[in-house]
Structure 1
Amino acid sequence: MIITVSRQFGSGGREVGKRLADALGLTYYDKELVTEISNHTDLNESYVSSVLESGGFRNYAFTFGRTMPFVSTTPAPVTDVLVAQQKIIKAIGEKGNCVIVGRSADVILKDFKPFRLFIYADNDSKIARCRARAPEGEHYTDKQMIRRFKEIDSGRRKLHDLLGVHPWGDKAGYDLMINTTNVNIKAIIPALAEYIKNSTK
Structure 2
Amino acid sequence: MEKFVINIGRQLGSGGKSVGEAIARRLGIRVYDKELINFAAEQSGLCPEIFEKADEKEARSLFATLFGYLRLPFAGEDAGCTNVLSSEALFKIQSDVIRDLAARESCVFVGRCADYILREHPHAVNIFVTAPDADRIARLRDRCGCSEEEARALMERGDARRRDYYNYYSSRTWGVASTYHLTVDSSVLGIEGTADFILDFAARKLDMKF
Shift of 1:43: 4.1
1:91 aligns with 2:100: yes
Q: What residue number does 2:135 align with?
A: 125
Q: Map Cα deviations across residues 169-195 of structure 1 (whole Å, 9 max, x no partner).
A: 111110000112364211332333122
Residues matched between the structures, number: 187
Please tell me whether the aligned partners of residues 117 and 176 of structure 1 are also in contact (alpha carbons under 8 angstroms).
yes
The residue identity in structure 1 corresponding to 2:139 is: R
- How much identity, in percent, do the aligned residues show? 25
* Pair 151,196 (structure 1): closer, same or farther in 2 beyond 3 Å: same
Are 1:60 and 2:70 matched, yes or no? no
Superposed counterparts of 1:72-111, under 5 Å:
73=66, 75-76=68-69, 77=85, 78-111=87-120
Alignment-mate amino acid for residue 142 of structure 1:
E
**Shift, 1:18, TM fit:** 0.7
Give the match for residue 189 of structure 1: 195
What is the TM-score when the length of structure 2 is the normalising length? Answer: 0.79
Distance in 2 of aligned mates of 1:127 and 1:176: 23
Q: Which residue of 2 aligns with 1:143?
A: 149
Matched with 1:16 is: 19
1:167 aligns with 2:167: no
The one-letter amino acid of 1:36's match is: F
Gaps (5+ residues) in structure 1? 63-70
* Residue 3 (structure 1) aligned with residue 6 (structure 2): yes
- What is the SS of the residue equivalent to 2:31? strand
Aligned-pair distance for 1:5?
Answer: 0.3
After superposition, the Cα gap between the structure-2 partners of 1:79 and 1:175, relative to the gap in structure 1 and judged at 3 Å, is closer
Equivalent position of 1:34 in the other structure: 37
Partners of 1:5 and 1:31 in 2: CA distance = 13
Q: 1:85 to 1:133 in 2, by over 3 A?
A: same
Q: Unaligned regions of 5+ residues in structure 2, if any?
A: 70-84
Letter in 2 for 1:60: S
Q: Is the 8 Å Cα contact of residues 3 and 100 (structure 1) preserved in structure 2?
A: yes
Cα root mean square deviation, aligned: 2.3
Alignment partners' CA distance in 2, 1:58 and 1:143: 28
Per the TM alignment, residue 120 of structure 1 is displaced from its structure 2 partner at its CA by 1.0
Task: Tell whether the 8 Å contact from 1:108 to 1:163 is kept in structure 2 after alignment.
Answer: no
Give the structure with the higher percent helix.
2
Please say if residues 2 and 97 of structure 1, whose CA atoms lie closer than 8 Å, have aligned partners that are also in contact.
yes
How far is 1:146 from its partner?
1.6
State TM-score, norm by structure 1: 0.82
Displacement of 1:158 in angstroms is 1.9
